[in-house]
Amino acid sequence: MARGDGRLTHDLLPGEKGPQDECGVFGVWAPGEDVARLTYFGLYALQHRGQESAGIAASNGDQILVYKDMGLVSQVFDDRALESLRGRIAVGHTRYSTTGASEWHNAQPTLGPTPVGTVALGHNGNLTNTRELVDVVAERSGEDLTGEMGRGSSTDTAVITSLLGCSGAEDEALEDVAARVFPMLEGAYSLVFMDEHTLYAARDPHGIRPLVLGRLERGWCVASETAALDIVGASIVREVEPGELIVIDADGLRSRRFAESTPHGCVFEYVYLARPDTRIAGVPVNAARTEMGRVLARENPVEADLVIPTPESGTPAAIGYAQESGIPFAQGLVKNSYVGRTFIQPTDTIRQLGIRLKLNPLREVIEGQRLVVVDDSIVRGNTQRALVRMLREAGAAEVHVRISSPPVKWPCFYGIDFATRAELIANGLNLDEIRDNIGADSLGYISVEGMVAATSLPESRLCTACFTGRYPVPIREGATVSGCEMPGMRELSELAVTEGAS
């Protein structure tokens, strides 16, 4: 695996603890292809899902090497690094941290021993029963993954790796071990992993985070989003089903079910997280976002001169709002593409500086105009507060903010950095108070019903917990989000009932 300077070693990566990542995963089985380079391009297409670290593991049939480091995909890998990762199988990962520290030892894929070889694993999601699983690892292997005796990581990804390593009998296939281990996991997980000869992919029974299967001319690949399959020239076969384990080796592809499927895909993927050129559950994300804008215009009309988006994620909804309202669409803000997403930065200071670096108003477009500013969400309120101030300084006559998702009022325990309830601006402030807080002339959110309808999926197939407080997977006592212990499912349910969210 790679050390902090990217150099390759053969040491095994230690077990890891306490996760919350919104990440991108990619895996490929393709004898005769440059699997490391295919994985590199796949991760490049998934860069929006994490900008803190990147890694690739590859197997030549005899051994697995991992190369990883902090930074963007293009910063971590060069030709020399990719040349060192020869083989027929590769898995890759791009990450940002939420509770897990932004440090090299938390980068993925993880690497660990099993009775029959080695496993390298990349994880997108967040487990809600990590503490219980750490105890299982300690009981089965004697390994302490906590405190000073732990192995130096603060994510749950290698807790899964450790479980795979300590749960199998001698000569038991990793496929069989995985099918027995995964029902123990609670929460959200989309996994790509490998041993020396086989590529695996698995998705939690609720399918909270996306995962898709693609076909190459001489192999197979799996990815967090269909856009990554497009980039590497793979045809989209289907989604990995919730509760499904896929196994790909020299004998071909086979599938087995380790849990009953109860789909609850994350609705925020449609709102913000996924690339607009991705399809999830057969639904084009760009089309869903445009429809959210149309619904938003019907639910929250206003007299104005221009509709402008907060680029880039607000653009499809702004187009939909303009189409439905008849108000002209304009690009009133210029985005610096080299500044990362503001809500996933580690401190408020960096977030606020990032907003100014990221967006700049076009004065000749907005001066003297009544503006409808369409954005995808309000989390802490920092972006909108700074944005409204910038637009007024640039001469806007009125600023009407429209949001293509409902108020975010609940923390995400399934892998998105929404912070604690206390940090969410929609908790403790009503609509008028949020409007005053961000300095807008008016503020309107889409309804939960309108957002769900825009996806064309029934609400029963979606996770809307961050908007409604209805969690599809029970939250255990002591579960953490953004480093803070949160109440268990009973307390969360009582809060939801109190606020009319259940």
For the chain, the structural domain boundaries read: 24-263, 287-456
Q: Are the beta carbons of 386 and 438 closer than 8 angstroms?
A: no
What is the pLDDT, as a whole number, of residue 100? 47
The residue-averaged pLDDT of 71-88 equals 94
Q: Is the dihedral of CA 372, 376, 381, 383 positive or negative?
A: negative
Task: Convert the pLDDT of each residue in 351-365 to its tens digit.
Answer: 555 566 778 899 999
Whether pLDDT at 493 is above 50: no
Taking each helix axis from N to C terminus, what angle separates 174-181 and 157-166, rounded to the nearest 10 degrees?
A: 120
What is the pLDDT, as a whole number, of residue 111? 92
How many C-beta atoms lie closer than 10 Å to residue 183's C-beta? 12
Weakest mean pLDDT among 19-33, 138-152, 419-433: 138-152
Q: What is the CATH number of domain 24-263?
A: 3.60.20.10
Beta strands in 281-397 (DSSP E): 283-284, 306-309, 333-335, 359-361, 370-375
Higher pLDDT, 263 or 143: 263
Weakest mean pLDDT among 57-61, 240-244, 412-416, 435-439: 412-416
Whether pLDDT at 102 is above 90: no
The residue-averaged pLDDT of 374-389 equals 92
Give the up-direction half-sphere exposure of residue 152: CA atoms within 13 A in the CB hemisphere.
Answer: 8
| Closest alpha carbon to 155 in 15, 18, 14, 13 | 18
Q: Are the beta carbons of 56 and 68 closer than 8 angstroms?
A: yes
Given 23, 166, 221, 484, which residue is catalytic? Answer: 23
Query: If pLDDT is split at 50, 70 and 90, which confidence band does 350 have?
Result: low
Annotated binding site: 266, 313, 375-376, 412, 463, 466
What is the pLDDT, as a whole number, of residue 252? 96
Query: If pLDDT is split at 50, 70 and 90, which confidence band does 33 have?
Result: very high
Give me the phi and psi of 274, to 5 degrees please.
-75, 155
Weakest mean pLDDT among 141-155, 367-381, 439-453: 141-155
Whether pLDDT at 248 is above 50: yes
What is the pLDDT, as a whole number, of residue 428? 85
Considering the chain, what is the average pLDDT of its residues?
86
Distance CA 156, CA 186 (A): 12
Q: What is the CATH number of domain 287-456?
A: 3.40.50.2020
Task: Convert the pLDDT of each residue in 289-312 to its tens digit.
Answer: 999 999 999 999 999 999 999 988
Q: For residue 23, indicate whether it is catalytic.
A: yes
Weakest mean pLDDT among 18-22, 91-95, 131-135, 458-462: 18-22
Spatial CB neighbours of 364, under 8 Å, sequence gap ≥ 6: none
Annotated binding site for [4Fe-4S] cluster: 266, 412, 463, 466
Distance CA 501, CA 281 (A): 26
The residue-averaged pLDDT of 72-85 equals 94
DSSP structure string for 99-161 = SS-SSGGG-S-EEEEETTEEEEEEEEEEES-HHHHHHHHHHHH----SGGGS-S--SSHHHHH
Q: Are the beta carbons of 184 and 237 closer than 8 angstroms?
A: no
Query: If pLDDT is split at 50, 70 and 90, which confidence band does 383 have?
Result: confident
Query: If pLDDT is split at 50, 70 and 90, which confidence band does 4 have?
Result: very low
Portion of the chain with pLDDT greater than 90, in percent: 69
Distance CA 353, CA 358 (A): 9
Q: Amino acid identity of 166?
A: C
Annotated binding site for Mg(2+): 313, 375-376
**Between the ranges 118-132, 335-349, 437-451, where is the mean pLDDT highest?**
437-451
pTM: 0.87
